[in-house]
Chains A and B, each alone.
Chain A
Amino acid sequence: MAPITTLHYLVVAAALFILGVIGVLTRRNVVIVLMSIELILNAVNLNLVAFSRIWGLHGQVFAIFVITDAAAEAAVGLGILIAFFRNKETVNMDEVDLLKW
Chain B
Amino acid sequence: MFFLSHIWLIPLFPAFGAAIMFFFGRKLQKSTVNAVCVGVVVVAFLFSCVAFSQYLGYAHDNPGKPYQTMVYTWLGTDTGGMNFVKHDGTSAAFQADVGFLLDPLSGIWLLFVTGVGMLIHIYSTGYMAHEGGYYRFFGYLNLFMFSMLTLILANNYVLMFVGWEGVGLCSYLLIGFYFHRHSASTAANKAFIVNRIGDAGFLLGMFTIAWYFGSLRFTDVNHLARSGHFAIGDPIITAATLLLFVGACGKSAQLPLYVWLPDAMEGPTPVSALIHAATMVTAGVYMVARSNALFVLAPTSMKTVAIVGALTAIFAASIGLVQNDIKRVLAYSTVSQLGYMFLALGVGAFTAGVFHVFTHAFFKALLFLGSGSVIHAMSGEQDMRNMGDLHKRIPITHWTMFIATFAIAGIPPFAGFFSKDEILWQTWSSEHGAYIHLWVIGYVTALMTAFYMFRLMFLTFHGRARMSHEVEHHIHESPKSMTVPLIILALCSICAGWLGWPHSLGGSDHFAKFLNPVFSNEAEVFRAGGKSSQLAAGEKEEEHTSPIEYGLMFLSVGAGVVGWGMAWRAYRNADKGYAEPIAAAAPPVYDLLYNKYYVDEAYDYAFTGRRKVGDVRLGVMGLGEASSWFDSHVIDGTVNGAGWMTRLAGTLSSWWDKWIIDGLCVRGPAYLMLLLSYPIKLLQWGLVQWYALVMVFGLVGFVAYYAWR
Contacts and interface: CB of A to CB of B under 8 A. Distances in A.
A21 B695 CA distance: 10
B689 A25 contact: yes
B481 to A, nearest CB: 108
25 contacts: A21-B696, A24-B689, A24-B692, A25-B689, A25-B692, A25-B693, A25-B696, A26-B689, A33-B689, A93-B687, A93-B688, A93-B689, A94-B687, A94-B689, A96-B688, A97-B686, A97-B687, A97-B688, A99-B684, A99-B686, A100-B684, A100-B685, A100-B686, A101-B681, A101-B684
Contacts of A96: 688
A25 B691 CA distance: 9
Q: Is the interface of B mostly helix, strand, loop or mixed?
A: helix
The interface centre, meaning the residue of A21, A93, A100, A101 with most chain B CB atoms within 10 A of its CB, is: A101
A93 B686 CA distance: 10
Interface string B661-701: 00000000000000000000100111111001100100000
Interface in B37-94: none
Interface in A13-60: 21, 24-26, 33
A87 to B, nearest CB: 15
A100 B681 CA distance: 8
Nearest to A36: B692
Interface in A44-84: none
Contacts of A100: 684-686
Nearest to A95: B686
A76 B656 CA distance: 50
A100 B685 CA distance: 6
Contacts of A97: 686-688
A77 B498 CA distance: 135
Contacts, number: 25
A100 B686 CA distance: 5
Given A94-B687, A97-B688, A101-B681, 5 more contacts: A24-B689, A25-B693, A97-B686, A99-B684, A100-B686
Interface residues of A, number: 12
B504 to A, nearest CB: 129
Interface of B: 681, 684-689, 692-693, 696
B138 to A, nearest CB: 96
Contacts of B692: 24-25
Contacts of B693: 25
A26 B684 CA distance: 19
Question: DSSP class of A's interface residues: helix, strand, loop or mixed?
Answer: helix
Contacts of A99: 684, 686
Nearest to B682: A101
A100 B696 CA distance: 21
A10 B686 CA distance: 34
A21 B689 CA distance: 10
Nearest to B688: A96
5 nearest CB pairs, A to B: A97-B686, A100-B686, A101-B681, A25-B693, A25-B689
Nearest to A30: B688
Contacts of B686: 97, 99-100
A43 to B, nearest CB: 13
Nearest to A33: B689
Contacts of A26: 689
B679 to A, nearest CB: 12
A42 B685 CA distance: 30
A14 B376 CA distance: 140
Contacts of A33: 689
Nearest to A37: B692
A93 B689 CA distance: 8
A83 B400 CA distance: 121
A96 B688 CA distance: 7
A24 B691 CA distance: 11
B701 to A, nearest CB: 14
A99 B684 CA distance: 8
Contacts of B696: 21, 25
A29 B689 CA distance: 11
A94 B689 CA distance: 8
A56 to B, nearest CB: 25
A26 B688 CA distance: 11
Contacts of B685: 100
A93 B693 CA distance: 14
Contacts of B681: 101
A48 B232 CA distance: 136
A6 to B, nearest CB: 18
Nearest to B674: A101
Contacts of A94: 687, 689
Contacts of A101: 681, 684
A24 B681 CA distance: 23
Contacts of B687: 93-94, 97
A94 B685 CA distance: 11
A20 to B, nearest CB: 11
A93 B692 CA distance: 12
Contacts of A25: 689, 692-693, 696
Nearest to B687: A94
A99 B687 CA distance: 10
Which interface residue of B681, B685, B689 has the most chain A CB atoms within 10 A?
B689
A25 B699 CA distance: 14
A100 B688 CA distance: 10
A7 B377 CA distance: 152
A96 B689 CA distance: 10
A101 B696 CA distance: 23
B427 to A, nearest CB: 115
A36 B656 CA distance: 58
Nearest to A101: B681
B59 to A, nearest CB: 118
B380 to A, nearest CB: 101
Contacts of B688: 93, 96-97
A33 B689 CA distance: 9
B512 to A, nearest CB: 120
A77 to B, nearest CB: 12
B85 to A, nearest CB: 87
A22 to B, nearest CB: 10
B693 to A, nearest CB: 5
Nearest to A21: B696
Contacts of A24: 689, 692
B436 to A, nearest CB: 118
A100 B687 CA distance: 9
B673 to A, nearest CB: 12
Most chain A CB atoms below 10 A, which of B681, B686, B693: B686
Nearest to B681: A101
